[in-house]
Amino acid sequence: MGDRVYSLYVIRCSDNSLYTGIALDVGRRLREHQSGRRGAKYLRGKGPLRLVFEQPIGERSFASRLEYRVKRLDRAGKEALVSGSLPLAQLMTDRDRESIQASGAS
């Protein structure tokens, strides 16, 4: 797999909505979102943006699967994830846990 460890992140917008994404470098990706250039269209005009959750995951395919699961959560579920009352591990399957252990991203 190499050194490419993707992270799952959640951004809170000025309208209090939550945006979920994955990136190799979350700080760089947040700056891209904030600048409006190369950022997600959803986030345009919704600043200031604040990073409220970040977790290293591992390989891109696994990070994408978790991103999908987080995006499917209702608002209460996303808020629980951000606050720490919903552990990200609860969204993982046994296969996911094996993948994260093998990548060393835990």
pLDDT, residue 94, reads 77
Number of domains in the chain: 1
- The stretch 21-33 carries a mean pLDDT of 95
**What Rg do the C-alpha atoms of the chain give, in angstroms?**
14
Question: Residue 60 gets which letter from DSSP?
Answer: H
Full domain range(s) for residue 72? 6-103
pLDDT above 80 (res 89): yes
pLDDT, residue 3, reads 72
**In this structure, what CATH number is given to the domain that contains residue 21?**
3.40.1440
Distance CA 63, CA 33 (A): 19
Residue 1 lies in a domain: no
Mean pLDDT of all residues belonging to the chain: 89
Helix orientation angle between 60-72 and 94-103, rounded to the nearest 10 degrees: 140
Residue 82 lies in a domain: yes
Q: Record the pTM.
A: 0.86
- The stretch 94-102 carries a mean pLDDT of 69
Residues in the chain: 106
Res. 35 pLDDT band, cuts 50 70 90: confident
Residue 15 lies in a domain: yes
- The stretch 33-45 carries a mean pLDDT of 86
pLDDT, residue 1, reads 45
What residues does 6 pair with on adjacent strands? 58
